[in-house]
Amino acid sequence: MTTRAVVRLAVGDDAEAVATVRAVVAPYKVMSAAATRHLITVQSPKERFLPLVAEHEGEIVAWASAGINVWTSEPGQAHLSIYVHPDHRKQGIGSELAERLHQHLTEVGAVRVRTFVQPDGLEFARNLGYDGTRQMHFAGLDLTAALPEQPETPAGIELVALDSVDPRTAYTADTIASLDEPSDSPLDSVDYDQWLEEVWNSPSVDRSLSVGAMAGEELAAFTVVETAADRMWSGMTGTVPAYRGTGLAKLVKSVALRRAAAAGITSAYTSNDDENGPMLAVNNWLGYRRVQTELGLLKTL
């Protein structure tokens, strides 16, 4: 007889177990236990973030979360994610988590929800009323192998580690570069204090390995490196519009990967929306190879 899983609110001390479940379900998404704790415990009240876990015989076997996207000017936009350990699927856990999260989002005023699913989760999501065709490609790179030759640094550009960059300068570049990032809702309402707490001060971000291209006092391009043991994740790579087409994204990523390899990082992972052709081309040049494609879906509440 199978004992029914118990769904409850996630707390910071669940971080290690949640990170383990996430790593089993999606090994190409790099998130340490420290970063997971940060995700669970550090959220703006406006996000109305709800983190849940499901326990079976005292062991966490699923993780799910949902909240309001407060970084867009479009009201009522929300996000939802569910990770159920493969050994505990087809037992109603995902359905119960989805029901709890959808109820919560309805109560806090969400009108549209975005989720990403692996191909084998598409039928489950469709049955919940999700639809859409957006694709997010995930790719990995072996940093113990040779990287392509590093591009030349253009005149007037200085390469620096992000730990030497003023956070206000980094925030300005990040928010400008993100404005035309492929998405269903524009990232056009990013609060500085929230960005500072959730992004800049995240324990996953290694600013000494993250690289910026400075043009005088302006951060023209950057790549953020997030680490977990000997693995890294490209948190965000961006170039402000005035400097696009000059190869700076390729340059900062190339430098960051070399620095990460020298620091003992053995594998790197990244993701790109299917519509982001320029960054897909950069990652292909660097040697990234696709390991998974997730489907981006929407549901109207």
DSSP per-residue letters across 200-254:
IT-TTB-TTT-EEEEETTEEEEEEEEEEETTEEEEEEEEE-GGGTTSSHHHHHHH
50-56 and 6-9 strand pairing = antiparallel
Q: Spell out the per-residue pLDDT of the chain, length 301, in tens.
A: 355 899 999 999 999 999 999 999 999 999 999 999 999 999 899 999 999 999 999 999 999 999 999 999 999 999 999 999 999 999 999 999 999 999 999 999 999 999 999 999 999 999 999 999 899 999 999 999 999 999 999 999 999 999 999 999 999 999 999 999 998 999 999 999 999 999 999 999 999 999 999 999 999 999 999 999 999 999 999 999 999 999 999 999 999 999 999 999 999 999 999 999 999 999 999 999 999 999 999 999 9
- DSSP class of residue 47 equals G
pLDDT in tens, 102-113: 999 999 999 999
pLDDT at 87: 97
pLDDT at 1: 38
Q: What's the CA gap between 188 and 115, in Å, rounded?
A: 20
pLDDT at 3: 59
Q: What's the CA gap between 223 and 16, in Å, rounded?
A: 27
Q: What's the CA gap between 181 and 249, in Å, rounded?
A: 14
Q: What's the CA gap between 172 and 240, in Å, rounded?
A: 9
Backbone torsions φ then ψ of 127, nearest 5 degrees = -65, -20
